[in-house]
């Protein structure tokens, strides 16, 4: 629970620290309160969802109630002008899968970033990204909850990617509707961890404490000097192995990454890099205990990594391929990276990513510290 608030605090502080030198003393802060409801379909990606549970019923639907605190200022700072008047803030939501005995009523806490796609006279189109943590699960227990292979630990990552339409009902009221893809898993920290994937229509009402500004008249962002970055990243984590569910052994994963990043616009970097990881669980013994550690524990991958810049905060994505892996072989298995990185001081950064394969199976949480070398074009 404490970790949840730390991560959300980092997100909010990073947005605050990304303010430029514009004097905002006389600027009205456009604060918004939003309440929403969603009712969606659970994707049948594992046996527990399909009906192999204590209730002997498939888990088909997910409903949620949310409350958000948002800000949407009309370009007071450079990053707001770069992203053309985004909204940002924090949210809390409560979910219901219709099986409280085995799943509980999960509660999510997350940071929010909404970016405009198009603005018409009375209608705005936005993408919305949510990233945070979820607790209040009833997780797997070999005696009390033996069928729940979806959630193995007390908390999971909350990820929500949505496309939304907002209608201007009045200068202070908006109505929004859209579609979300929601994902819950713990990144492989604790097994079993098959997770939940959900497609959910959403509806929300928003109240603005200040009448809506005209975002279309926002001052255009000035072009920043483009940079080249060389990022050295040290990573570390622990995870459990799917092959030995529900074994309680944890295995360390640590690594070194080197990524070259080219800033191609005010808001986007594109990078290529190399990831090296040393997996203690790669040579596990047949009984699930730690085996001999040799060169076979080492994996090497190459990754294409696009990034979105939001002041001192960076949203990280990536698609890579394992060039050397004792289980997957050479150039046969793709992997993915998704997370956030925050510049804590000049050349230093802290971050957390989810590493996955096949876009649906989390391998481990990638906690990292980075050192950046930068030069300008």
What are the average pLDDT values for consecutive 10-residue runs of the chain, which has 377 residues? 46 47 62 98 96 96 98 91 95 98 98 95 96 96 93 93 97 98 90 93 97 88 90 93 69 96 96 97 83 93 97 95 96 96 95 91 93 94
For domain 227-376, is the CATH number 3.90.245.10?
no
What is the CATH class of 26-217?
mainly beta
Could you tell me if 197 and 180 are in contact, meaning their C-beta atoms sit under 8 angstroms apart? no
What pLDDT is attached to residue 13?
A: 47
Identical topology for domains 26-217 and 227-376: yes
Which residues lie closer than 8 Å to 96 by C-beta, 6 or more apart?
62, 63, 64, 105
Among candidates 133, 134, 152, 132, which has minimal Cα distance to 142? 152
Which residues lie closer than 8 Å to 53 by C-beta, 6 or more apart?
59, 99, 102, 147, 148
Among candidates 192, 2, 17, which has minimal Cα distance to 109? 2
Q: Which residue in this structure is represented by tokens 């202070």?
A: 172
Task: Give the residue extent of every domain in the chain.
Answer: 26-217, 227-376
**Residue 349: which H helix or E strand, with range?**
strand 348-357
In DSSP terms, which residues pair with 88 in a beta bridge? Answer: 71, 113
pTM above 0.85, yes or no: yes
What pLDDT is attached to residue 245?
A: 61
Q: Where are the alpha helices (DSSP H) in the chain?
A: 2-17, 47-50, 78-82
User: Is the peptide bond prior to 57 cis by the omega test (within 30 degrees of 0)?
Assistant: no
What pLDDT is attached to residue 173?
A: 98
d(CA 210, CA 205): 15
d(CA 126, CA 287): 50
Among candidates 115, 66, 89, which has minimal Cα distance to 11? 89
What pLDDT is attached to residue 243?
A: 58
β-strand pairing of 227-239 with 251-263: antiparallel
What pLDDT is attached to residue 247?
A: 64
What pLDDT is attached to residue 218?
A: 87
d(CA 270, CA 272): 7
């Amino acid at each position: 629970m404490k970790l949840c608030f730390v991560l959300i605090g980092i997100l909010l502080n990073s947005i605050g620290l990304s303010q430029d030198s514009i004097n905002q003393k006389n600027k009205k802060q456009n604060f918004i309160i939003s309440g929403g409801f969603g009712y969606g379909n659970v994707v049948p990606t594992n046996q527990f969802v399909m009906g192999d549970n204590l209730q002997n019923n498939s888990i088909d639907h997910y409903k949620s109630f949310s409350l958000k605190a948002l800000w949407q200022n009309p370009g007071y700072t450079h990053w707001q002008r770069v992203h053309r008047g985004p909204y940002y803030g924090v949210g809390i939501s409560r979910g219901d899968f219709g099986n409280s005995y085995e799943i509980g009523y999960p509660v999510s806490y997350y940071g929010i970033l909404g970016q405009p796609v198009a603005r018409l006279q009375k209608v705005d189109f936005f993408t919305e990204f949510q990233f945070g943590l979820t607790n209040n699960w009833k997780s797997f227990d070999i005696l009390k909850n033996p069928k729940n292979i979806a959630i193995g630990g007390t908390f999971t990552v909350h990820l929500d990617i949505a496309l939304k339409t907002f209608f201007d009902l009045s200068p202070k009221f908006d109505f929004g509707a859209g579609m979300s893809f929601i994902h819950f898993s713990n990144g492989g920290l604790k097994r079993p961890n098959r997770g939940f994937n959900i497609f959910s229509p959403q509806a929300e009402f928003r109240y603005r404490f200040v009448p809506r500004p005209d975002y279309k008249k926002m001052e255009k962002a000035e072009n920043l000097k483009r940079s080249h970055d060389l990022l050295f990243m040290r990573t570390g984590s622990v995870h459990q192995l799917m092959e030995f569910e529900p074994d309680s052994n944890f295995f360390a994963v640590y690594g070194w990454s080197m990524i070259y990043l080219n800033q191609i616009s005010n808001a986007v970097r594109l990078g290529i890099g190399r990831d090296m990881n040393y997996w203690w669980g790669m040579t596990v013994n047949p009984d699930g205990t730690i085996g001999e550690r040799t060169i076979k524990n080492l994996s090497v991958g190459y990754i294409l990594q696009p990034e979105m810049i939001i002041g001192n905060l960076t949203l990280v994505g990536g698609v890579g391929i394992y060039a050397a892996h004792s289980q997957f072989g050479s150039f046969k298995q793709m992997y993915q990276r998704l997370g956030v990185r925050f510049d804590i001081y000049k050349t230093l950064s802290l971050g957390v990513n989810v590493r996955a394969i096949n876009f649906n199976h989390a391998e481990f949480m990638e906690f990292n510290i980075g050192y950046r070398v930068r030069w300008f074009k």
